[in-house]
Structures are given as C-alpha cells and as structure tokens.
Structure 1
C-alpha cells in the first residue's frame, strides 16, 4: 500500500529539500505535484522520489539543466545508459576545470599574501592587485 500524499512541509521533512526549493523546482518545471481544489500542493511518492533524486543530483553539483535531462532519462525506462554516462562525464570534466581555476586563484592569493608585509604600513600588494595596479 502506498503512503498518502503529503503537504509541502511534510515533503520537505521527508526529502531534506526546503519548501522554498520545492516551490522553485515546481516553478521551473522539474516537479509537478497534484493540486487540491483549494490550491494546496499534495506530494505523492513519485514526487517525493523525484525530490530525493533532485537533492542527490544537487549534492553532486549537477546544474539544473543537467538535472532536467537526468530526470527525463530516469523516467524513461527505455533509455540508453550511454546518455547518462555522457552527462556524468561531461559534468566531471566541468568540475575538474572549475577545480583548476579555483586552484589558480588560490595560488595567486597565496602569492599576494606572501608579498604583503602584514604590518602597520599602508602599502599592500593585495589591495594594489584588486585595484589593478599590480603588473
């Protein structure tokens, strides 16, 4: 026997997704809860499963458009796993590039901090760089 549909607050507690984000996911078309005559949303097991799916995908830092595609593939029982794999590997490549960029930024800041005297003098290469005065 399936459990009865729940309110947005109950869906939030059951899935770990905030009510605000549940409303957002509905607004952008990732989620389609039933509505009662009074307009209240009701979340049955399929919507709760979709919310858990979305939360896990967000935990893995997938962008919303990739999550939209992954949800479609998840619902399509005739899907080819090759498409899912392609999306995952493209995401890995994007994450690795972002990590490289962030490491470069961290290295630049370490270099600037190493050249800042950190004393009572007003001159500071970090502020100079932010102002655009460094070479």
Structure 2
C-alpha cells in the first residue's frame, strides 16, 4: 500500500509517518519501481502500535523504547512496567495540575454575577485586569 493508504488506514497523517521513519520508529519500506513507498502489514501494525502509544500520551522516546522491547521481547516486562509507571506518574501530576486549574477558573467564574448582561462592569474582566497589574485576583489570591 502507498503512504496515503497507510495514513487513511491508521488515522496518522502522511507527514507524521515520514517523521516516524526519519526518527527510526518506523522502518523505511521497500520502494516500488516508480519510487513510491510500498507499505505492508508489518508497517501498518507498527504504526498502529505507535499511534496507540501516542494516544496514551507517551513521549516518543518511550514509544521508541517500547518498540525496542517489541522487537526483542526477552525479559523486558519489568522495564515495560517501569515505563508505564512513569507515564502514570506524569498523568497523575497533570491531573493534579488540571484540578488546580479548574479550581482557579471556578473562583474566577464566581466573580460574574450575570445580572448585567451586556451592560455594566464584568467581574471576570476586572479580575483579569487586576492580575495583569500584579494585584491579587480571585484565581491567584496570593501573588
């Protein structure tokens, strides 16, 4: 299959496929007589694996390590476990950060009483302007 067909089959755009080849994540396929890349089932499966890992928000360096384990599966289970544990730690840290962000936005949103419609001062904008002046605001009371 040509690169367009591989892209369509995996949901990965053509430029990303070329990037993965350049980075060594996806081996370059054989070429047809006309110079076109000729992808086969192994490339489709490998690209699907990469896409799944990226959907789990794994960094490319970790995806590359996982592919190395796939290529040589002898006794790497502990290494794979550690890699996934590291990713889980990163996700948990982001979740904590997102919860803090949600709290800040809720505090900011509470400054709007919604009674003015289009007229009158906007409590949210007042808070954001105050913050821009270096003053405390509802979402960052301790500056």
Q: TM-score, normalised by structure 1?
A: 0.84
Which is greater in Rg? 2
Please say if residues 30 and 68 of structure 1, whose CA atoms lie closer than 8 Å, have aligned partners that are also in contact.
yes
Which ranges of structure 2 fall in alignment gaps of 5 or more residues? 137-142
Deviation, structure 1 residue 35: 4.2
Question: Relative to 1, partners in 2 of residues 1:130 and 1:69: Cα closer, same or farther, differing over 3 Å?
Answer: farther
Deviation, structure 1 residue 122: 5.6
Question: Relative to 1, partners in 2 of residues 1:16 and 1:122: Cα closer, same or farther, differing over 3 Å?
Answer: closer
Please say if residues 112 and 122 of structure 2, whose CA atoms lie closer than 8 Å, have aligned partners that are also in contact.
no
Whether 2:111 is the aligned partner of 1:109: answer no
Which residue of 2 is the match for residue 93 of structure 1? 89
Whether 2:30 is the aligned partner of 1:27: answer no
Please say if residues 8 and 42 of structure 1, whose CA atoms lie closer than 8 Å, have aligned partners that are also in contact.
yes
CA distance, structure 2, for counterparts of residue 131 and residue 117 of structure 1: 23
Whether 2:15 is the aligned partner of 1:8: answer no
Moved more, 103-112 or 11-20: 11-20
State how 1:34-113 maps to structure 2 within 5 Å.
34-36=29-31, 38-113=34-109
Q: Which runs of 4+ in 1 moved over 3 A?
A: 116-119
CA distance, structure 1, for counterparts of residue 19 and residue 41 of structure 2: 19
Q: TM-score, normalised by structure 2?
A: 0.80
Deviation, structure 1 residue 125: 0.7
Moved more, 88-97 or 30-39: 30-39
Say how many residue pairs are matched.
130
CA distance, structure 2, for counterparts of residue 21 and residue 29 of structure 1: 12
**Greater relative CO, 1 or 2 (CA 8 Å, sep 6+):** 1
